[in-house]
Structure 1
């Protein structure tokens, strides 16, 4: 829906304080100097010291202020040209160039220059500011915003698109002053907002104002109903549309939201946003706001002073709320169009998000209390199919931006590093109850099975997540080799096709102390990953080559569009040149991930129908509590699908994140 707004248009250039130039011979140079001084003065909206003729400079300044009043800080560029004389009249052209809501308005006015009392100056008149402008006229601009473009998902399915809403509020025209407070408080209580605050807002609004209380999706089960509103004097539900996702929580953190521009956003927009404009907040809506918003259509009018008016929305289900007064017929007749440009529609942002899988991920996390995330990637092409952050994330994009110790899922990287040193999944390793490194004692997770202690295979150590077995191999792989293996699986490297903000992991390549290196072997210490990075790692194993994630398909199609901004670890840049995982290495890792399901911690995944499931659980301790808090992780592969599940302060990966992955994979396969 187009957004119409009318406001006074600011006229400007750069002021140079000037003194009239003496020139007895009426030279061309003197005329051009005077015109240049006036053009600079108009630019700064201060002609009080300019070489003005024909009126007092204070009167000219007052008239200029009236012409441009109410139009903020929009200023044009103005340049003066060469003087010419015809029939005794000397003139200098003034060229204007405006930037109005992204549209350019160019025109030229003519300054009459003369010499009076030995000094050169410019005769003041309104048409010096805009072509044909007369005394008593001011400039006004009417902007028409195009409908905001959609964010599209896989197959160009609309994710965020214009959907019907109801703007619920009080129209003061239809409620007496003696009932206003009671009506405002009744409506506030009905829609669940602060009654005191809304009552004060209603009292402070103008006598004919519509005071909005809340905006609701227009659904069959909308509450409050029209009947409930009808019982409150002055309450109305106005029909409108807004760019919305299918549900309030659908991909909210990754997609972002759309609303009316705040004062802060308007101030930072350099004139691109005005009051009432829709703009993005967070996620893709904010990152691609310029592309989605398009450009306003602009009409510049010469109007009788005091004739501008603002349109109002239309009510449904009852009498119409009041609107601002319109211009009188005589005022309307005096209106002239000086410039007009059509609105330019925005361009949709195309993404790889699968609507069904995104909704499934959101639903799977809907009852999880702590911060949580599910990221699903298609290994064959790197498409991000779902990126959900649970309600405990409080709007933060945990799925793509979270930075957490990965715990035992990082043993996938350890295993690749060991394979590159000649190990195989059958390599015998020692799993002991504890292992001490430089005075620090490491132990296995609570509940580790006693029958898998002692001499076991690397595969078995991975399947049951024996911490001490992997730490015991620390001397076989350096920290730099760990970092190189991490980048071979897509961690800590650039993601040029992602098209969104994301954290791809951090694995320091610098030499660490023995204790820090031991901690790295079990995904702790300084190792950090996001759920996105974990899903990339699993996808790279499943594909048998490095997977570079992609979310926004427009990236690379238009140089003006934002580039990807996935964040690699600065310490991992050296490792970025390492060789990618090979098919043979990936086959060994796939074998080990399958063992997690068939004989290890994740036997619950055997119930998932279809292709064999591979997995790796992870529990990462953090903080100083005793016992320490833990992050719960699990990664899984299922055919052409790789998934990471994360729960902050979640306990064990197998018991907390495991059921969430089982639910997701089972329903995804249906």
Structure 2
């Protein structure tokens, strides 16, 4: 530090004496605690919505809390409980007053709303106290104004099929309900009871909802497709006071049942969804509830926008409003699928009269694209087409044939078909009307064409469980893939006993598959390469590592045997189909239910660039039950 000379020190002493009173005043002005800790505490209280929780200069704590709550109450429905982040940007003190600059940030689904406001602190009895006024919350607000927010809805993305054809898109609907504001409370109750009765709803439950609703509320009862409103319900909307029909649009598939188990549904969010994802879903939002609509909800729903206004809410005011911030909505993205709308409709129409659980799947062998994945009415809400799990029966003999070819047999190799064969004490037989002409020594191709169980089991010593698993993998069965939709690729486990090994050779025991997986098997034969199904754009997968590629010779041999099934075997019903040669394999698989032995009925086929699998949970046989479904599908392709 530079030392001052004697003269300078004397001069400084004189100046100090002359200005002693002024310096005492400055010291008094800057005495007391620093204001920043109080400013930080006030910022935290504002963020929590409780400005009265810190010492206030004005107004009183209770009054400040009440005024603050009233000012921001209009944000809650749209903001859904989002609290702001409030930061102290700067504190500037002048005597007993400190000016505080605050930074506000609301992290909303539509984006961040950020701004700055100013408030003040006052030093009272050696304690800094805050001042609350509307401008603290938003700088342009004046007395009598409150904040109000509304959500700007985003358009949900469509589900689009092959060729860009819309599957799920906005379609006309009619919303029916009771308008509380149009009638007296008693009339509203009578209207609710009449509408619920005509629409076959729970009358008491809907009446209670109407009674509990606000005086001007519209209480929705049911939504119909515009062309499907029942006559009595439509007439009630025109003749019953309080019953109102509102034309609207809603994302819908072409029909109520179109690929319903796969696509899933869209509806009002549940309390559980809001609890699981706070800030994402709000009361009244619509979202995917199941199936692909639920899995891809984030992409499909887009992001809602937000409009925040200042509303003049003072008594006697005109109710004017001004916009503070508008955040536009971002519409959802389309979900693109490979489904062919016409082929899916055909498949569903074919299954409409099938009572047991059933499914039809169609693939394009050259690409693996799933063109149809239809479930019959007997499945309930279960997606059997791509995720069902059942023993594939003799359709699995395609896999067994490949394993035998790799063991050294050829389609012309002689095998022995007997009426029965015993393995480890269990007797295996052929189906009841197996042709007697195909018993005895026959070529392997005849054993496959007529579906001889005993011949394949007798040759089982040539292969083991690993050989069967490897052959299945080559044909697209038994190894899972993540393809962006519910897909079961089957199971070919290592057999634990000789009996289980014998059962596996004919597609029973613990061998399981879905209709989609069996469609992939016959598609792989048709294509001459492993076919991995694909349904959702952007989700494709390669054949599993380690799976031996299907050789040209193997593919030709398999095609010749599956062609024999159509020419002179259990698939003769497909022999007169016009167009390219048809390959096929039928199958039945026994299972027990309630002490009764029943049979699954299967058939797989391929023609040109189309592969089809049909499955009926309980049927007579593959050729008689599943065969007509496959034939009709190929004829209408």
Q: Report TM bin, short chain.
A: 0.7 to 0.9
Whole-angstrom CA distance in 2 between matches of 1:582 and 1:44: 69
Q: Does 1:115 align with 2:123?
A: yes
Superposition deviation, residue 47 in structure 1 = 4.4
Q: Based on CA coordinates, which of the two structures has the bigger radius of gyration?
A: 2
What does residue 377 of structure 1 align with?
A: 363
Where in structure 2 are the equivalents of 1:384-399 lying within 5 Å? 384-399=370-385
Q: Do the aligned partners of residues 373 and 28 (structure 1) sit closer, same or farther apart at CA in structure 2, a change above 3 Å counting?
A: farther
1:470-523 CA distances to partner (integer Å, 9 max, x unpaired)?
222222222122111111111233545x33221222222x46322222222122
Q: Of 492, 498, 508, which residue of structure 1 is paired with 2:478?
A: 492
1:435-494 CA distances to partner (integer Å, 9 max, x unpaired)?
222222222233222322222222222222222222222222221221111111112335
Q: Do the aligned partners of residues 630 and 111 (structure 1) sit closer, same or farther apart at CA in structure 2, a change above 3 Å counting?
A: farther
Partner SS for 2:523: helix
What does residue 102 of structure 2 align with?
A: 94
Q: Does 1:517 align with 2:524?
A: no
Q: Does 1:103 align with 2:114?
A: no
Superposition deviation, residue 239 in structure 1 = 0.5
Q: Is the 8 A contact 2:403 2:463 kept in 1?
A: yes
Q: Does 1:464 align with 2:462?
A: no
Superposition deviation, residue 660 in structure 1 = 1.1
Consecutive unaligned residues in structure 1, runs of 5 or more? 1-22, 308-327, 556-562
Q: Does 1:144 align with 2:152?
A: yes
RMSD of aligned residue pairs (Cα, Å): 2.9
1:7-27 CA distances to partner (integer Å, 9 max, x unpaired)?
xxxxxxxxxxxxxxxx99969
Q: Is the 8 A contact 1:26 1:115 kept in 2?
A: no
Q: Is the 8 A contact 1:24 1:118 kept in 2?
A: no
Q: Do the aligned partners of residues 646 and 437 (structure 1) sit closer, same or farther apart at CA in structure 2, a change above 3 Å counting?
A: same
Superposition deviation, residue 171 in structure 1 = 3.1
Q: Does 1:63 align with 2:67?
A: yes
Q: Do the aligned partners of residues 472 and 181 (structure 1) sit closer, same or farther apart at CA in structure 2, a change above 3 Å counting?
A: same
Superposition deviation, residue 601 in structure 1 = 1.2
Q: Does 1:542 align with 2:511?
A: no
Q: Is the 8 A contact 1:102 1:272 kept in 2?
A: no
Q: Does 1:43 align with 2:43?
A: no
Q: Of 398, 405, 408, which residue of structure 2 is paired with 1:419?
A: 405
1:204-246 CA distances to partner (integer Å, 9 max, x unpaired)?
4344433333211112886447446434343332110111111
What does residue 449 of structure 1 align with?
A: 435
Whole-angstrom CA distance in 2 between matches of 1:661 and 1:329: 73
Whole-angstrom CA distance in 1 between matches of 2:383 and 2:30: 69
Q: Does 1:353 align with 2:339?
A: yes
Consecutive unaligned residues in structure 2, runs of 5 or more? 1-26
Q: Is the 8 A contact 2:51 2:132 kept in 1?
A: no
Whole-angstrom CA distance in 1 between matches of 2:164 and 2:474: 32
What does residue 272 of structure 1 align with?
A: 280
Partner SS for 1:618: strand
Q: Do the aligned partners of residues 81 and 528 (structure 1) sit closer, same or farther apart at CA in structure 2, a change above 3 Å counting?
A: farther
Q: Do the aligned partners of residues 91 and 582 (structure 1) sit closer, same or farther apart at CA in structure 2, a change above 3 Å counting?
A: farther
Q: Does 1:586 align with 2:571?
A: no
Partner SS for 1:473: helix
Superposition deviation, residue 161 in structure 1 = 0.9
The alignment's TM-score, normalised by the length of structure 1, stands at 0.83
The alignment's TM-score, normalised by the length of structure 2, stands at 0.88
Moved more, 643-652 or 147-156: 643-652
Whole-angstrom CA distance in 2 between matches of 1:191 and 1:183: 12
What does residue 34 of structure 1 align with?
A: 38
Q: Do the aligned partners of residues 56 and 370 (structure 1) sit closer, same or farther apart at CA in structure 2, a change above 3 Å counting?
A: same
What does residue 82 of structure 2 align with?
A: 74
Whole-angstrom CA distance in 1 between matches of 2:136 and 2:189: 51
Superposition deviation, residue 254 in structure 1 = 1.7
Q: Do the aligned partners of residues 80 and 108 (structure 1) sit closer, same or farther apart at CA in structure 2, a change above 3 Å counting?
A: same
Whole-angstrom CA distance in 2 between matches of 1:24 and 1:349: 71
Superposition deviation, residue 610 in structure 1 = 1.5
Moved more, 513-522 or 52-61: 52-61
| Alignment coverage as a number of residue pairs | 607
Whole-angstrom CA distance in 2 between matches of 1:623 and 1:220: 41
Whole-angstrom CA distance in 2 between matches of 1:158 and 1:476: 51
1:517-543 CA distances to partner (integer Å, 9 max, x unpaired)?
222212222222111111111211111
What does residue 4 of structure 2 align with?
A: none
Whole-angstrom CA distance in 1 between matches of 2:565 and 2:29: 98
Moved more, 342-351 or 639-648: 342-351
Moved more, 88-97 or 353-362: 88-97
What does residue 91 of structure 2 align with?
A: 83
Q: Do the aligned partners of residues 471 and 37 (structure 1) sit closer, same or farther apart at CA in structure 2, a change above 3 Å counting?
A: farther
Partner SS for 1:642: strand
Partner SS for 2:309: strand
1:252-310 CA distances to partner (integer Å, 9 max, x unpaired)?
12222222323333333322222332212222222222222212121112224599xxx
Superposition deviation, residue 66 in structure 1 = 2.7
Q: Do the aligned partners of residues 206 and 592 (structure 1) sit closer, same or farther apart at CA in structure 2, a change above 3 Å counting?
A: same
What does residue 313 of structure 1 align with?
A: none
Q: Is the 8 A contact 1:38 1:52 kept in 2?
A: no
Q: Is the 8 A contact 1:37 1:51 kept in 2?
A: no
Q: Do the aligned partners of residues 31 and 177 (structure 1) sit closer, same or farther apart at CA in structure 2, a change above 3 Å counting?
A: closer
